[in-house]
Every structure is written in structure tokens, then in C-alpha cells.
Amino acid sequence: MKAEVRTHSEQLSPEELQFLVDKDEKETRTFYRAIRVFMVVCFIIPFIVAWMRAMDGDEHPFELGAYFLGVAFLLSFTGLCAWLAYRRSLQKIKTDIRKRSKTVERAKITRKQYMPHNHAYYFYLDSPTKLSIEVSESDYYMLNDGDEVNIEYSTNSKLYFGYF
């Protein structure tokens, strides 16, 4: 029998909202920087292909129709990939900012683990959203397997805020 996921929504705190806004600004800058690079590459690759055809002895290697057909194909492919990347990440963050709500989920601790190489304490959870969380040393020793913790994350983008 599958365990029922117990969640409810709450308003974002000002700190959480600022975290999402900062993440959105950073990811948007990175997204547009990548788009600009890929657009330049879309114009350079057909030019390189034309030079390779010229070195192979083609009589008309720099034909404008073939060049712009290659550019159009690469721009279409890049545009599709950019749209999918936007839908997968940036749009979800923007929706979370617009709705200003987060999800609080109650999850059971299935396993506790200490990582000595970085002196970190982890709880493994039965949550479908977050499989493990790093916790404080005091919480690690206070809570046991089978106990419940509440985790907070953004509703659409599933960005983790914390636990209590």
C-alpha cells in the first residue's frame, strides 16, 4: 500500500521570496548568455561547413541558400531546446514568485546517516520530492527512524527551503 503524501500550502516568507527572486535573476542571466552563444554558433557552423566543402574541391561551397538553410535549421533546433529548458526550470521559478506560496510536506525519517568526510548529518525521507536532507547535529541525535519532520519547498520548481 502506498503511503499518503501529507502536504499543505503556506505563504512564502520574505527571505524565501528573496531567495527565489535571486535564483530567478541568476538563472535568467545564465539562460540569456547561453542563448547568445548558441546563436553565434548557429551562424558560424554553416560557415565552417562551407570552408570544409571548399577544401574538398566543391565548385560552389559558399552558396547563400545552403548557408541560410543551415542557419535556419540550427536556429530552429536551438530555439526548441531553449524553449524546453525555459519550460523545465525558469518558468517554474517565475510561477512560484508570482503565486508566492510554498508547500509544506510531512515526511517520515527512514534512515539516519553521518558522513565523517565532511562532518554532515543526513536524514533519508519517504518523501517523493526530497529523498534526503542535511540536518543539524542536535536534530540528528534528537530524532530517530520513524519520526516525522516537515520539509518546505517551492511548489512548482521544488526548490528546498528547510525543515522543522
Domain ranges of the chain: 13-99, 101-163
Q: What is the pTM of this model?
A: 0.76
Say yes or no to pLDDT of 2 above 70: no
- The pLDDT value recorded for residue 55 is 86
Taking phi first (over 0 means left), then psi (-120 to 50 degrees means alpha), and beta for anything else, what does residue 123 get?
A: beta
Q: 151: exposed, middle or buried (C-beta count within 10 Å: 0-12, 13-18, 19+)? A: buried
Q: Could you tell me the fold of the domain covering 101-163?
A: OB fold (Dihydrolipoamide Acetyltransferase, E2P) (2.40.50)
- Decide if 157 contacts 21 (C-beta within 8 A): no
- The pLDDT value recorded for residue 1 is 42
- Segment 115-139 mean pLDDT: 93
